[in-house]
Structure 1
Amino acid sequence: MVLVGSILFAFYSLAIAVAWAMFGQNNTILAIAILGSVVLVGFQYKVGKWAALRSVGAEDMPEQQYAQIHQFVEGVSRDMGMEKPRLMIANMGVPNAFAVGRRGNGTVVVSRELIQILDREELNGVLAHELAHIDNRDVVMMVLGQGIASVVGIIAQYVVLFTGDNDLADFFLAIVVGNLVQFFVMLFVLAISRYREYVADSDAKGVIGRGDPLARALEKIQQGNQRSQNDRLDENVSALCIFGSSKGVLAKLVSTHPPVEERIRRLRS
């Protein structure tokens, strides 16, 4: 994570260095660029969490009705040395789960469909996976990466505008260049996301003692998603979920999750 953070900081530093070279004589513009980037990341974090929970209609998970889930999460959180995350439940239309927030202020959302199809050991594997994401600060890192990608893209647009004739052609060129630069940085961020899924799987395997329960859960989740005729899952929420399907080279390149088959193979190896 230190390496990941260093590389993301390098992207950000490069963007600010370019901004300094372009606007260094105007400290006001540079200050606005730096302050705006910080505000943008904070805004994405706060609004993203709220939007994710709202989009699936998440509700607090009753402790009396789901006592075993609460007890398991409390025990694992204690072993991880972090505060127990808020547990919520939702009708997603598909069997799935996702985590948002950070250590000390995390939330785990589980779909009712997931609880219905998994046995206790399999569900514990999924819960351990989501708790690992919070413990490893993966959600915060993803938001930070997306924010840096946006900042780099915006600065690239301004560089094109201020180095050209500032006419209509430069305006459209700036949009194209900004999107391409942002896409390049996001490829790196998405690669981080896929790697962190393997790490969360490995951590969950360590929590429950073996990988087969989580592997079975992934198989059931994959089958449940394929059978679903009412996939109401928001695209942004889908990126947070434990399951993500991708076919084709380009789809895998821009996916937040690695192939399920490879995750299952690693869990059972």
Structure 2
Amino acid sequence: MRHLGLKARMAVVGSILFAFYAVAAVVLMSMFGTGVLPLVLVGSVLFVGVQYKVGKWAALRSVGAEDMPEDRFPGVHRQVEELSAEMGIDKPKLKVARMGVPNAFAVGRKGAGVVVVSEELLRLLDDDELEGVLAHELAHIANRDVVMMVLGQGIASIVAIVAQWVVLLTGDNDLADFFLAIVVGQLVQLLVMVFVLAISRYREYVADSDAKEAIGGGDPLARALEKISSGSQRASESAVDEQVNALCIFGDGSGLAKLLSTHPPVEKRIEKLRA
């Protein structure tokens, strides 16, 4: 089975996320009765579905992504078409954006994917390096790991909202409880996202491996990551927010060290690509 490790990890994290969701549902039923269960189920499905649609739209809008004209970028379109055929997926829509840094990301799923490439990246990379980056992003679509990221974010938001309501409804309903509810909600959401972020780091290694296989070697993507890392460090301004950063080929490793990082260390990724 292809990528058994990724599938197993996604299954484990999915089970943990469901457990968090189940606890939240039980808490709501204990507070409002069993009659609220159908509302919880329907509302949750709608919430995650809307978040998926809105999240995809918001990610594209946040960087000002525009359609990539095929007459202006024939080489990019040709590379994506050939790589898509190699990976057994439909050619995704291609968009270009000014992100302030050289980067790229993919959103959506098989049959409805979108790959966004920054203008800075197009100017920075050679053709074979760009091909490696494109193969990496197509791998995310082929592996459906973007869907897991969105599902995890949705469940984390639901559990956080329930935790906030528990604090508000069991407290004195004063200003202190309001601020406590915000803090508790953020902490609970962070706890759930720790498991999602673990998948996020692993999926980057898998996408690197798939790209290496698709283009016949890992050195072009390794060189691309070196250039992207250097270009991102020199950039003074970036149009990429935190949620989109988690989807990009190169992410900022700052924060609470490795635990909350969306990406593995770029040095390790380069080492694996050149192994």
Q: 1:59 to 1:166 in 2, by over 3 A?
A: closer
> Counterparts of 2:75 and 2:191 in 1: how far apart (Å)?
44
Q: Any unmatched runs of 5+ in structure 2?
A: 1-9
- Count of aligned pairs between the two proteins: 266
The letter for the 1-side match of 2:230 is Q
Q: CA RMSD in A?
A: 2.0
1:261 aligned residue (245, 253, 267): 267
Query: What is the 5 A alignment of 1:123-142?
Result: 123-142=130-149
Q: Any unmatched runs of 5+ in structure 1?
A: none
The letter for the 1-side match of 2:60 is L
> Hey, what does 1:5 align to over in structure 2?
14
TM-score by length of 2: 0.89
The letter for the 1-side match of 2:30 is A
Contact 1:23–1:30 (Cα < 8 Å) also in 2: no
> Hey, what does 1:216 align to over in structure 2?
223
Q: 1:227 to 1:168 in 2, by over 3 A?
A: closer
1:17 aligned residue (18, 22, 26): 26
Contact 2:13–2:195 (Cα < 8 Å) also in 1: no
> Hey, what does 2:251 align to over in structure 1?
244
Alignment pair present for 1:100 and 2:107: yes
Matched residue SS, 1:102: coil
2:46 aligned residue (17, 39, 46): 39
> Counterparts of 1:231 and 1:182 in 2: how far apart (Å)?
25
Alignment pair present for 1:79 and 2:62: no
CA positional deviation for 1:149: 0.5
> Hey, what does 2:3 align to over in structure 1?
none
Matched residue SS, 1:108: strand
> Hey, what does 1:151 align to over in structure 2?
158
> Counterparts of 2:169 and 2:61 in 1: how far apart (Å)?
40
TM-score by length of 1: 0.90
Range with bigger deviation, 63-72 or 137-146? 63-72
Matched residue SS, 1:88: strand
Matched residue SS, 1:21: helix
CA positional deviation for 1:245: 2.5
Matched residue SS, 1:98: strand
Contact 2:222–2:270 (Cα < 8 Å) also in 1: yes
> Hey, what does 1:191 align to over in structure 2?
198
Q: 1:166 to 1:230 in 2, by over 3 A?
A: closer
Contact 2:87–2:214 (Cα < 8 Å) also in 1: no
The letter for the 1-side match of 2:121 is L
User: Alignment identity in percent?
Assistant: 70
CA positional deviation for 1:191: 1.5
CA positional deviation for 1:155: 1.6
CA positional deviation for 1:211: 1.3
Alignment pair present for 1:206 and 2:213: yes
